[in-house]
Amino acid sequence: MKPYAMLNLASGYWRVLPFFLLLMSLSGCSLHHISDLQPSGPISRNIDELFWTTVALMSLVLISVFGMAAWFVWKYRASNTKANYSPDWDTSVALEWLVWLFPALIIVILGSATWIFTHRLDPYKPMDSKMEPLEIQAIALDWKWLFIYPEQRIAAVNELAIPVGRPIAFKITSDTVMNSFFIPRLGGQINAMAGMQTQLHLIADQPGRYFGENIQYNGPGFSYQHFEVNATSVQGFETWIEKTKQSSQTLDFKQFKALAKPSIRHPVTYFSSVSPLLFQQVMDQFLGEPNLHPISDQ
């Protein structure tokens, strides 16, 4: 093959390379990971509002910058003999005001919005509702999630059932490294840390099946550490409770330690009975006091 032919062939490859790179990047797309743009609760809607406000304000900057760049290229092109030529120009008070005031206003608006929404969306702040919140204790494991319902004294692995319209008060901890608890369509994320308890208050106002996950890398099973959230009616939630109570499996601290062993793609598992202080004992073990709260089935 002649040298110039090889160069043409190589040039052709370089032309199509960006196309293939774009296709490779699209291979990572998933509806699960953009579901935070489909809010199904008041917390997620507030987050969505802040997100689009930020996008709109930053778009003003991008439109201005690229618009002026295109205008400068057009106005001062070589063929435009009517363009102003001012080699000694160095000062414009009006331009200085424009250059500094416009970005400053955007920063003030963004800062104010962030301050307001940060306090409005405080994860420790209970939901404004007349209904009594449902407490759920979430424990991050390698590589699965355990959800304990202390009032009902049941538990489930990798499945979370909640009643629509009722506030949910999560108490979250970890039996392993730091994880990040996240249900995109219902609210923001919060970390789960060993020996510590974090809180999160959410509410689902639309029935459906939502995607929940850990978004903090924690080892080889990270990609599979997700769970399904079943937001259902009160009657549907009661039916789920009764189904869970039919399970033959129970959960105390000894059985919990067996469950906590690393596993990938752990199946959904139900426990009809849970020791009442299991969540506290999971935290206490990292304080060197695993028997501080002895567990009783009473």
Separation of alpha carbons 19 and 15, rounded Å: 8
pLDDT given for residue 76 in this prediction: 85
**Euclidean distance between CA atoms 216 and 178, whole angstroms:** 7
The pLDDT value recorded for residue 297 is 44
Residues shown for the chain: 298
Query: What is the domain partition of the chain in residue ranges?
Result: 38-78+93-121, 134-285
What are the strands of the beta sheet with 159-163, ordered from one edge?
A: 159-163, 226-232, 208-214, 179-182, 190-192
pLDDT for 88 equals: 79
Strand segments, DSSP code E, in the chain are 134-141, 144-149, 154-157, 159-163, 168-174, 179-182, 190-192, 198-202, 208-214, 226-232, 250-251, 269-271, 273-274
pLDDT in the model for residue 78: 84
User: What is the C-alpha end-to-end distance of the chain, expressed in Å?
Assistant: 85
How confident is the model at residue 7, as a pLDDT? 47
Place of tokens 């208050």: 201
Give the H or E element holding residue 257: helix 253-259
Per-residue tokens: 203: 């509410």
By C-alpha distance, which of 198, 149, 199, 210 is closest to 169?
199
Cα distance between residue 130 and residue 133, in whole Å? 9
| pLDDT for the residue numbered 5 | 52
Q: Is 135 helix (H, G, I), strand (E, B) or coil?
A: strand
What is the reported pTM? 0.81
pLDDT along the chain (298 residues), means of 10: 52 66 68 72 94 93 91 87 79 86 92 94 93 97 98 98 97 97 95 97 95 95 96 97 97 96 96 96 82 49
CA dihedral 214, 205, 48, 146 (to 10 degrees): -10
- Helix H or strand E segment including 19: helix 3-26
Tokens at 97, concatenated: 């005001």
DSSP state string for 50-93: HHHHHHHHHHHHHHHHHHHHHHHHHHT-TT-TTS---TT----H
Under 8 Å between Cβ of 42 and 166: no
Q: In CATH terms, is domain 134-285 a member of 2.60.40.420?
A: yes
- Which token pair is 211? 């995607």
> What CA–CA distance (Å, rounded) separates 8 from 20?
19
